[in-house]
Structures are given as structure tokens and as C-alpha cells.
Structure 1
Amino acid sequence: MRAAAQDQEWLLGPDVLVAPVVVEGARSRDVYFPRGCWRDPRSGRAYRGPRTVRVAAPLGHLPFFFRCGTRPFRVPPATP
């Protein structure tokens, strides 16, 4: 199972995918999205899995995603 092999990203319950940047100085990272629809709650961009996508990860931004149609917790708006 490809999802189980991901050692630098985690599901927090069934609806939150967290993919922290673990390489010093990186400004993006590859994220494996499990089957289904996943949405970046800050930008609103949706990703359909299963697939791997390179996502932006600027300094101070923790990449995380909600399963589409869910709102597990409140997210502050993105800062420009």
C-alpha cells in the first residue's frame, strides 16, 4: 500500500492530511494524496488522489489538507 509507505506525512483522523517540510531550506515538497478529494483550506485548491503532487511550502507554512466536504477545525485566512 503506497499510502502506508509515506513516512513524512500523516493522517490525523480520517479527514486531515499533514505533510511538514523536513528538508532544510525547501520551499516545496511532494505530497502523496490518498484516494479521494483533498483541499488546501487556505487556498481552496483541490487535489484528487491517489497521486503525488509537488505543493508550495513557503517558510512558516505547514502544508495540510482537509478531505473535501469536511471542516475538522477552523483555519485562519492566508496572509499575503
Structure 2
Amino acid sequence: MKPEIDFASATWRALVEIVESRIDELRRKNDGDLSIERTSHLRGGIAELKQLLAIAKKSPATATDEDQFPLRQ
């Protein structure tokens, strides 16, 4: 069974703040003169943190009608 996460909780909001701060820190480091390997490592870390934050966007509890039933053009 999948664990349930309350994306409206103070704990989740605190985690989001911490993760967003870490993403900013990694981006600033990535702006420096770094090797290809170090740049790849930092980008991978940023990508993983973004995936963690995306959990809330994938949750049915946080999805809007537009997310579930996008308008067709």
C-alpha cells in the first residue's frame, strides 16, 4: 500500500521550503566554473529534488478538473 501524504500539512510546506532552498543553492553552485562531471552531478541533484516536489502535482487530491480533463483544441 502506498503511504498517504498530506500536501496541505505544515510538514509538507516546510519540506517544500527546504527543498526549494536546496535547489537554489545547487543552481548557484552550478553557475560557477565547474567540470563537466561536477555540472552533471549538480544537475542530477536538482532533477531529483524537482521530482520530489512533483509528487504533489501528481496527486489526485491536488489535481484540478483541468488537470484531469484538459480542454481539447
Q: TM-score range by the shorter chain?
A: under 0.3
TM-score (norm 1): 0.22
More helix by share: 2
TM-score (norm 2): 0.23
More strand by share: 1
Kindly name which structure, 1 or 2, has the bigger radius of gyration based on alpha carbons: 2
